[in-house]
Structure 1
Amino acid sequence: MEGKRTYSKTRIAPTPSGFLHLGNVVSFVRTVGLAKSFGARILLRIDDMDRERVVPEYVQDIFDVLNFLELPWEEGPRNVKEFEREWSQVHRMGMYREALEDLREKGDVFACSCSRAKVMRDSPDGVYAGTCRDKELSF
């Protein structure tokens, strides 16, 4: 069908900084529905970049909720041990640092002190206007 977008993959990306709530469940159910309608695979990508706030019980809660609700995912960890051993974002930190350094060298990254609220006030469509690009704020 011409003009119809196709997607091969989507993701469920909870953050283990608290127990899941109804908003998470609604998002997960919607993602599963969209994936089915587009024939896309689902990746469980637990966003544990903020390691100080990650609590093992919160990671376990993600698996408990997904399994209890029988929400499917084709890729990603199946349990906490597998998550920590193979899927934690910690394993990608070297790659993230390298990408950030490449962007710095090209001058394509800069520090910004603007809050989301300020960005929305300055640009109601939510597109960042580059307010801090030339301020040379330190990281």
Structure 2
Amino acid sequence: MDRKRDDLTIGELATLAGVGVETVRFYQRKGLTPEPLRPAGAIRRYGAADVERLRFVKSAQSLGFSLDEVAELLRLEDGAHCKAASSLAESKLADIRRKLAELSRMEAVLSGLVKACHVGRGKVSCPLIAAFHAAG
């Protein structure tokens, strides 16, 4: 791409940020990224700051932050609100740790049920199916 990075179409912006055009539009509707003015008879143009903002959103999402949480981080992005950003991250970390504990519990139960299925013999009912019936 030989276009200047401050004269990008929405398609070029999306490609550089690693998202789809509809994702860009969705983020604009959610207020996560600005929608530049459309000059009379022309198309909207985007710049390097728009690419970085989209990358910021995707990076935060990849760590489990919801779009509402990303919006809050964006409000704090000037760097002067590190304590508030840290608090948000600590809350996310606690949430992830709770989810990991639940996933670990699920893995242990399911692993035991799978093992029980492999040792089942004869006309014994399937331990996996039986466990789900018993839980219901």
TM range (shorter): under 0.3
Asked which structure has the greater CA Rg, the reply is 2
Query: Greater RCO between the two (CA within 8 Å, min separation 6)?
Result: 1
Which structure dedicates a bigger proportion of its chain to helix?
2
Question: Please, what TM-score do these two structures have when normalized by structure 2?
Answer: 0.28
Which structure dedicates a bigger proportion of its chain to strand?
1
